[in-house]
Structure 1
Amino acid sequence: MDVMIPSDNADYDTIYNYSDYYSEESLDKYGLCEKTHIKNFGRIFLPLFYSIVCILSILANLMLMYIFIKYKTLRKTFPLHMMVSDILFASTFPFWAMYAHSGWIFGDHGCKIITLIYMVSLYSSNLFVACMHLHRCTGGVFFLWSIRNLNCSLKTGIMCAVVWFVSFLASIPNICFAEAHDKEKTCMNNVGHSKAWKTFMRSEIILLGFCIPFIMMLLCTRNLFASLREKDPETVEEDLVWSEGVFTRLI
């Protein structure tokens, strides 16, 4: 590469040759880091991991759903809806497994549909865990509601419908911005240079996916421990085991 630099003190131009700085050997040695070995490992590990989690999750939730439906004493609305959320969430794993192995091959519509199912199930699953805790720890509130025209089971159904609606509403930005790029074989949110949308979508996942359910559970647990002092020791132990299980499920 020859570059001519004008000289103010002479009638001629000085020519510098920069070809040595851009040799093919130097470009191969100091080029961009492609992390080929990491990508090759991900193509093997991630599909295997997603497949195992998908199979175990669907089988476990189907088994629990069968038990809850078969035995009327265990038939609860919130756990059943939470199992549906978990099954929907796990059903997206085969697509992510294929994505990790061969890139996105399901087109733009497939990208939007899978993103919708993934986000709705993510939000609803955590919100149903919080609703279970709320339902358990505020029995007095539901008792007061039952005095009115609507019974408690109908109110529980309404709460479940609200959870699904809120989860779908929160997923709309992801549907709008989800795009598939055939050349790069990717499926991702494309918000351009809008920092506001990026911040909003990240905050939405943090708030609805973790913070709000966790805060609801903390407040309910506080009331639960306050009411445990007035109960029998056997009931106290049962409630503590149940509360620990719900916290583990959220984490």
Structure 2
Amino acid sequence: MANFTSGLSNDAAYACDTNVPTITGPLYILIFILSITCNSLLLCVVFIYENLKNITNIFILNLACSDLIFTITLPFWAVDHLHHWVFGDFVCKVITAGFDVGLYSSVILLTAMTVDRFITVVLHNWPISHARMKRCAIGACIAAWVISISASLSDAMKVKVVYWVGKNYCYDESEDKLGHYLQVSLLFFLPFAIIIFCYSAILKTVLQGLNRKKFRTVAVLLCIVAAFFICWGPYHIMLLIKSLYEPKGCKPKQRLEVAYHICEMLAYSHCCMNPLLYMLSQKLRKHLLNLLRCENVCRKKRERSTSLNTSQQFTLQSSAV
């Protein structure tokens, strides 16, 4: 997968300098900082204030972890774009695997979350207990990680450090690039079809009359899914174009590379969007403000101070008696 995660092109494309990597390197660092900050705050909010047994929160926690795994790979690709690959063959494989795990797990978890909303909203009369739904949600999360890790290990074995024109690059030299792109696209477009079907049924049910609280929850989740496909959709389309179409001449190659890098930046920026979209929820916004004000810490100090004062008063009263 590093043949496109690191932004490398084929040999002919190197002759046509687009200067895009010098821009993408700093953008990787900016996305990295935003994503680490936003996802860490989200994890703190969910752990401190939310019910971890709630099915939606289970998915949110897993999605935040998926985004963080993806985010950790960005500084390595930034160095690769700004300079060249200096981390060796083993790190090349590990970072490629981390990138794939983050990508694959995100789309599988979002699909599972959508199916859960479909069952909750559309099939609300379906005879299934909350405990069973929770077990299914946990099972879906475990399956997402197992599938993602398995697929990423297969991809990681194909990459290695390649020496070209005086520099090293983390690159995939396997000949079956079309098969690989089709595998990646299948893990994107098939979930997309499932999600479109589920949300069509959900929106139909919502429009027929649903209480306002559930409508807000569905709206937030719909925004999260829409953001994923708006960010990653153009990227996967560009991957298919690059695998099927070989432009002739320098200008067409430059245009294709510029379009590819724009789609790549849009896709990579997704890892810091989910926490921002979760803040559409009024409850999570309130929790975040409480966290930033350290309200829990202040409340505990007040409770400790009150308890200490009560204890001192009791001691004084006892001494007076």
TM-score class, shorter: 0.7 to 0.9
Using a 3 Å threshold, how does the CA distance of structure 1 residues 236 and 83 change in structure 2: closer, same or farther?
Answer: closer
Q: Conserved in 2, the CA contact under 8 Å of 1:129 and 1:249?
A: no
Identity of aligned residues (%): 23
Using a 3 Å threshold, how does the CA distance of structure 1 residues 232 and 35 change in structure 2: closer, same or farther?
Answer: closer
Match status 1:203 vs 2:186? no
Q: Of residues 195, 206, 210 in structure 2, which corresponds to 1:217?
A: 195
* Map 1:32-43 → 2, pairs under 5 A: 34-35=15-16, 38-39=18-19, 42-43=21-22
Alignment partners' CA distance in 1, 2:43 and 2:178: 37
Structure 1 gaps, min length 5: 1-31
Structure 2 gaps, min length 5: 1-12, 231-321
Alignment partners' CA distance in 2, 1:72 and 1:240: 18
Shifted more, 221-230 versus 121-130: the winner is 221-230
Residue of structure 1 in register with 2:61 after alignment: 80
Match status 1:166 vs 2:147? yes
Alignment partners' CA distance in 1, 2:132 and 2:127: 10
Alignment partners' CA distance in 2, 1:33 and 1:132: 42
Q: Of residues 49, 53, 76 in structure 2, which corresponds to 1:71?
A: 49
* Map 1:32-111 → 2, pairs under 5 A: 34-35=15-16, 38-39=18-19, 42-43=21-22, 45-73=23-51, 76-111=57-92
Q: Conserved in 1, the CA contact under 8 Å of 2:206 and 2:215?
A: no
Q: Deviations over 1:97-150 (max 9, x none)?
A: 110111111111111000000011111112211211111111248964438xx6
2:99 is matched by which residue type in structure 1? Y
Q: Give structure 1 regions of 4+ aligned residues with deviation exceeding 4 angstroms.
A: none
Shift in Å, 1:226: 3.0
3-state secondary structure, aligned to 1:78: helix
Q: Higher relative contact order at CA 8 Å, sep ≥6: structure 1 or structure 2?
A: 2
Alignment partners' CA distance in 2, 1:133 and 1:198: 31
Q: Conserved in 2, the CA contact under 8 Å of 1:134 and 1:217?
A: yes
Shift in Å, 1:201: 0.7
Using a 3 Å threshold, how does the CA distance of structure 1 residues 200 and 144 change in structure 2: closer, same or farther?
Answer: farther
Q: Conserved in 1, the CA contact under 8 Å of 2:101 and 2:152?
A: yes
3-state secondary structure, aligned to 2:170: strand
* Map 1:181-196 → 2, pairs under 5 A: 181-182=162-163, 184-191=167-174, 194=175
2:199 is matched by which residue type in structure 1? T
Q: Of residues 93, 110, 113 in structure 2, which corresponds to 1:112?
A: 93
Alignment partners' CA distance in 1, 2:215 and 2:154: 43
Alignment partners' CA distance in 1, 2:135 and 2:125: 11
Could you state the TM-score of these two structures normalised by the residue count of structure 1? 0.74
Alignment partners' CA distance in 1, 2:222 and 2:203: 12
Q: Conserved in 2, the CA contact under 8 Å of 1:173 and 1:201?
A: no
1:154 is matched by which residue type in structure 2? R
Residue of structure 1 in register with 2:236 after alignment: none
Could you state the TM-score of these two structures normalised by the residue count of structure 2? 0.59
Q: Deviations over 1:76-107 (max 9, x none)?
A: 11111000010111110100011011111111
3-state secondary structure, aligned to 1:105: coil
Q: Of residues 97, 103, 111 in structure 2, which corresponds to 1:130?
A: 111
What is the aligned length? 210
Q: Conserved in 1, the CA contact under 8 Å of 2:101 and 2:149?
A: yes
Q: Deviations over 1:151-205 (max 9, x none)?
A: 33222111101011111222233112111124530111111xx3xx222210111
Alignment partners' CA distance in 2, 1:225 and 1:66: 31
1:128 is matched by which residue type in structure 2? L
2:180 is matched by which residue type in structure 1? M
1:189 is matched by which residue type in structure 2? D
Alignment partners' CA distance in 1, 2:161 and 2:128: 47
Using a 3 Å threshold, how does the CA distance of structure 1 residues 247 and 90 change in structure 2: closer, same or farther?
Answer: same
Shift in Å, 1:227: 2.0
Shifted more, 109-118 versus 169-178: the winner is 169-178
Q: Between Structure 1 and Structure 2, whose CA radius of gyration is higher? A: 1
